[in-house]
A = this chain, B = another copy of it.
Amino acid sequence: MPASDTQALQLLLERYSLGGKDLAEPGPSEAQLRLITQAALRAPDHGDLSPFRLIVIEKNARNRLADLFESYARRHGKTEESCSIERSRALQVPVTIAIIARIDLSHPVVAAHEQWACVGGAITNILNALHMLGYAGKMLSGGKVRDQALIAAFCQPGETLVGWIVAGTPSRALRAKTSKPVDKILSWFAAD
């Protein structure tokens, strides 16, 4: 096994999520975002449907996202402080990538759950690619993905707002992750 492959696997095994408060400038460049999208498109995709698309929020567009987050907080009766925290959530992150699913519920061959699995593979490969490029990130969802104003800002009819990947340069050392036990997950099929 070539050494580089062991190293690549190590990167895959050590990747973990960092949220907005641990992400600093710079975020991925446009050229890197295009590579990251290529990685997303390498997830297994039954029927070659590409059942997702990505919308990058960066630079000045973050103010528009901040307005949407703040308005969401206000409509949910949050305190002034919580509204301000929601605003800063959008502003502090160098690059946010909205994940939009395009699930064809009436596809004759590919079940909806297989399309969702492809969306999840894309999310995973985006996070893998960010990590391999020296960035960190985290997939976020929660109540905001069901907010009509946010859905209207990101989705066409029939699309689903899955959430956001926040991305940037890690502002603290990545801590070593303890490995999860595999024995609850992995078993062998008996010969008879």
Which A residues are within 8 Å of any B CB, using their own CB? Answer: 1-2, 4-9, 11-13, 15-17, 33-35, 37-44, 46, 50, 52-61, 63-65, 98, 101, 111, 113-114, 116-121, 123-125, 127-129, 132-134, 138-139, 141, 153-154, 160, 162, 179-180, 182, 184-192
Contact = CB atoms under 8 A, between A and B. Distances in A.
A54 to B, nearest CB: 5
A129 to B, nearest CB: 6
Contacts of A42: 12-13, 15-16
B61 A191 contact: yes
Most chain B beta-carbon contacts within 10 A, residue among A98, A117, A188: A117
A132 B187 contact: no
Contacts of A8: 4, 7-8, 11-12, 132
Contacts of A114: 141, 162
A8 B187 CA distance: 29
Give the copy number.
2
Nearest to A6: B132
Contact of A34 (B16, B56, B186): B186
A14 to B, nearest CB: 8
Contacts of A44: 17, 120, 123-124, 127, 138-139
A104 to B, nearest CB: 14
Contact of A119 (B2, B57, B120, B134): B120
Nearest to A96: B189
A42 B54 CA distance: 22
